[in-house]
Structure 1
Amino acid sequence: MKTWICLLRAVNVGGTGKLPMAELRALCERAGFSDVRTYIASGNVVLRGTLPAQEVKTVLERALEARMGKRVGVMVRTPQEMQAVLQGNPFPDAAPNRVLAVFLDAPPPADALDAASGRKDERLALGRREIYIDYGSGMADSKLKVPAASAGTARNMNTVAKLVEMARE
């Protein structure tokens, strides 16, 4: 059995995509996963199963689509990959709640940041399958738009660290 960290896209954000975490845990268990745990109501799941990453993604996306009536993207990572995201944070001097990793299914293109617009004091960097964003003075007033990040889902470094910790328990 392998441990997987699954990040759901657009769940319980801004009043759309409401999915109580108890229902999410039950959905994952019905899909054949065990030791299912969620963290905060934004679609973070740690679970165990025998399937490879791509199949975990496919099974969860199908189950979520059946439940939600729309496609819900799922990014799947191993605990080691999530630890590497933490260690690869190019902005370790910044507040961890203001540094986000936007998780993607594939590596971002080398020119992914060229199309970013609305930039103020934000710093951006590419990761392996992530785009890092340091929101400097905060996200509330940011006008930043990063087209390459639109298909991803973002988590701050505090959440990434907590998911790594949960995966190791």
Structure 2
Amino acid sequence: MTTTYAALLRGINVGGTKKLPMAELRTLMEGLGHDAVRTYLQSGQAVFTSGHGDGESLAAELAQAVEKRFGFTVDVIVRDHTYLKAIADNCPFPAAELEARQLHVTYFSVPVAEDRFAELDQAAYLPEEFRLGDRALYLYAPDGLGRSKLAVELSRPRRNKGLIATSRNWNTVLKLVELTGS
């Protein structure tokens, strides 16, 4: 059985580091036996079909291949269409009423318990807010991510210890649902 997935690569082609041309990423993924490989933007999204493995094993395989080919490590999360659609459908914020720059999703490699954020005084960051979902964190930042003090606090290494985390804006969240569904 063939499944359509999105691979989310963390921190590539940002600030001149970890340069990974999308054409080369597509070629690399095709060499791993994946089909219908497409990339979206330059910031590390690839959509592909595969008849072997699962999200976790496909992510590990791709991370290893990138390191071997390009010489740097990269965190990778792979999710299928059903998961990506559920994340979009279950957004706890009124996404249709917000500008895409105000809403972000951080995808986690594993489920994250609320106690990881227990000592965080959410009221101190209002009107910014976050909610946890299925291996995801939804962030509402009304002034955008670049001005978000809550985003800075949420991305601190101690909060993400032991897991892979990578964020996408709402436009990218929706585009990945579309691309994996077609």
Question: What is the TM-score with the length of structure 1 in the denominator?
Answer: 0.91
Question: Shift of residue 105 of structure 1?
Answer: 0.7
CA-based RMSD of the aligned residues comes to: 1.8
Please state if 1:59 is matched with 2:61.
Answer: yes
Structure 2 CA distance for partners of 1:112 and 1:94, relative to 1, 3 Å: farther
Greater alpha carbon shift after TM alignment, 136-145 vs 15-24: 136-145
SS at 1:97's partner residue?
helix
Structure 2 CA distance, aligned partners of 1:131 and 1:163? 17
Matches within 5 A, 1:2-151: 2-51=3-52, 52-92=54-94, 93-116=97-120, 119=125, 121-144=127-150, 145-146=153-154, 147=156, 148-149=159-160, 151=164
What are the superposed Cα offsets for residues 146-165 of structure 1, whole Å, 9 maximum, x if unpaired? 14357300011211111111
- Structure 1 consecutive aligned stretches of length 4 or more whose deviation exceeds 4 Å: 115-118
Determine if the alignment matches structure 1 residue 157 to structure 2 residue 173: no
- The aligned amino acid for 1:127 is G
Structure with higher helix content: 2
Amino acid of the structure 2 residue aligned with 1:66 = K
Residue 125 of structure 1 contacts residue 132 of structure 1 at CA under 8 Å; is this kept in 2? yes
State the Cα distance separating 1:116 from its structure 2 match: 4.5
Gaps of 5+ in 2: none
Runs of 5+ unmatched residues, structure 1 = none
Report the alpha carbon displacement of residue 65 of structure 1 after superposing the two structures with TM.
1.2
Distance 1:116 1:138 in 2: 20
What is the deviation of 1:112? Answer: 2.7
Corresponding residue for residue 166 of structure 1: 179
How many residues get paired?
Answer: 169
**What percentage of aligned pairs have identical amino acids?**
36
CA contact (8 A) 1:75 1:105 kept: yes
Deviation at 1:123, TM superposition (A): 0.8
Closer/same/farther in 2, CA of residues 23 and 115 from structure 1, 3 Å limit: farther
Q: Structure 1: which amino acid aligns with 2:21?
A: P
